[in-house]
Structure 1
Amino acid sequence: MGTLTTLTGRGPAASLEEAARAVGVRRIVVQQEEILRDGPGIVPTSVTQAAAAAVIRNPWAGSDVSTDLAPETERIAPVLAKVLTDRLNAVLGGSDEIEAFGKSAVVGLSGETEHAAALVHTPFFGNLVREFLDGSSILCFSDDRSEPGTSIAVPMWHKTAAATRSHYQTITLNLNDAPHPDEIVVIAAASTGPRPHPRIGDRTTDRPVTAEILEGILP
């Protein structure tokens, strides 16, 4: 999946944009944020977050709930994985600079939440996002069914060590005209570092905690 040839079947001259149009992409939106301060504190080393979103026609809009989603998933999801990770690598300086990642999908009101899930929760998307961003963790996610203009919160965690709490973070998008009732928004997000001022420890530093700690706290 690393070349345009495998995505389009038409060789290097065929652009990835053509492949995106062919699977129904209407818009591609990239949001980038550089965090220099958080609360009262200056961030010693700035962290850049980015999210790349594809607004795509829902190929299953109006279909019955018994419809097999696999054929269209296999056709569409790999193209979206390549399109979105290319954008993230471009704005964040390449996969070597990326430390955290995540994904999200929001379906319009004429579709099912399962339509959104189909495009992000299978190997045809997730495996390729990991490959293109040099990660190994399962991607954390959000998915929803909504009207245009809803805020979309995309969670992220460390791309190779998912239990690393310092990298638990979120980037929020607001797309004014998406998703239309017959559309799906598919998002991949990434960050070049941890949350600002991380200091809540980690599983390697946690002491054992059980419900016994409530003794003497609760009446």
Structure 2
Amino acid sequence: MSAKIRKIVTIVDEVHTEQGRPVSPPIRRAAAVAVIENPFAGRYQEDLSELIAIGEELGDLLGRRALAALGIDGEAVEGYGKAAAVGEDGEMEHAAAILHPKLGAPVRALIGKAPALIPSSKKRGSLGVVLDVPLGHKAAAYVRSHFDGMEVRVPDAPRAGEIMVAVALTSGGRPHPRVGGLSHGEAKGEDGLR
């Protein structure tokens, strides 16, 4: 692996009740977060292909970690998201290079039919910055019940010359959704929208 990983943190969130009402089965969200060295920290680099390759590697590694933490078969995953935070010596384009060109393909390979855009966010921050990972349905963007987010934080990251990269997977949408849109069962997953 070309990424120089300092640490990997895995977080699992499991909701059993919401407003006193049982959530059955419980909804699970898992995020795997890698803290890596930013090879271009503190300097401008025109060619970001090294970070693009790192994104592809991390898509597979973090996707596998999140799926294992979720504890279900890949086909049973309903939602996903990704996010990155660069330390103060990085630039937003470093996060974009990791997240956008190639990170998604290995995640999709792990979870079956997943044509919908993987929601993403990026930011710059210092130690302990909160990374809000946006979540959406893996097959159809119009499944509103899966518009959600997962907050992750690594207390000692990112350092100035690091990047935090997260991949999150879910077993379902929000508990007790009531705002309309397609349901999970109605999603066709042919075009990534419906």
Both proteins in one fold, TM over 0.5: yes
**Could you say what secondary structure the match of 1:45 adopts?**
strand
Do the aligned residues in 1 keep the contact of 2:5 with 2:34 (CA within 8 Å)?
yes
**What amino acid sits opposite 2:30 in the alignment?**
A
Q: 2:80 aligns with which of 75, 86, 101?
A: 101
What does residue 191 of structure 2 align with? none
**Could you say what secondary structure the match of 1:73 adopts?**
helix
What does residue 144 of structure 2 align with? 165
Q: Does 1:47 align with 2:10?
A: no
- Tell me the alpha carbon deviations over residues 84-141 of structure 1, each in whole angstroms, 9 at most, x when there is no partner: 011122122221221000000000001101111110011x212222222222211011
| Aligned-residue RMSD, C-alpha | 1.5
CA distance in 2 between partners of 1:190 and 1:147 (Å): 25
Cα distance, 1:151 vs structure 2: 1.3
* Structure with bigger gyration radius: 1
**What amino acid sits opposite 2:24 in the alignment?**
P
CA distance in 2 between partners of 1:39 and 1:110 (Å): 43
- Tell me the alpha carbon deviations over residues 54-73 of structure 1, each in whole angstroms, 9 at most, x when there is no partner: 10000111222x52112x03
Structure 2 unmatched runs, 5+: 184-194
Cα distance, 1:203 vs structure 2: 6.0
CA distance in 1 between partners of 2:154 and 2:61 (Å): 18
Q: Does 1:78 align with 2:56?
A: yes
**What amino acid sits opposite 1:33 in the alignment?**
D
What does residue 11 of structure 1 align with? none
**What amino acid sits opposite 2:171 in the alignment?**
T
What does residue 38 of structure 1 align with? 18
Do the aligned residues in 1 keep the contact of 2:7 with 2:36 (CA within 8 Å)?
yes
Following TM superposition, the consecutive aligned residue runs of length 4 or more in structure 1 with deviations greater than 3 angstroms are none
**What amino acid sits opposite 1:39 in the alignment?**
Q
Do the aligned residues in 1 keep the contact of 2:127 with 2:155 (CA within 8 Å)?
yes
CA distance in 2 between partners of 1:39 and 1:154 (Å): 23
**Could you say what secondary structure the match of 2:84 adopts?**
strand
CA distance in 2 between partners of 1:41 and 1:152 (Å): 29
Describe how 1:118-197 pairs up with structure 2 within 5 A: 118-122=97-101, 124-134=102-112, 135-197=114-176
TM-score, normalised to structure 2's length? 0.88
What does residue 190 of structure 2 align with? none
CA distance in 1 between partners of 2:55 and 2:128 (Å): 24
Do the aligned residues in 1 keep the contact of 2:52 with 2:97 (CA within 8 Å)?
no
- Tell me the alpha carbon deviations over residues 25-59 of structure 1, each in whole angstroms, 9 at most, x when there is no partner: 11111000110012332213211000000100001
Q: 2:36 aligns with which of 56, 62, 67?
A: 56
**Could you say what secondary structure the match of 2:61 adopts?**
helix
Identity %: 37
Once the two structures are overlaid, the 10-residue window that deviates more, 165-174 or 88-97, is 88-97
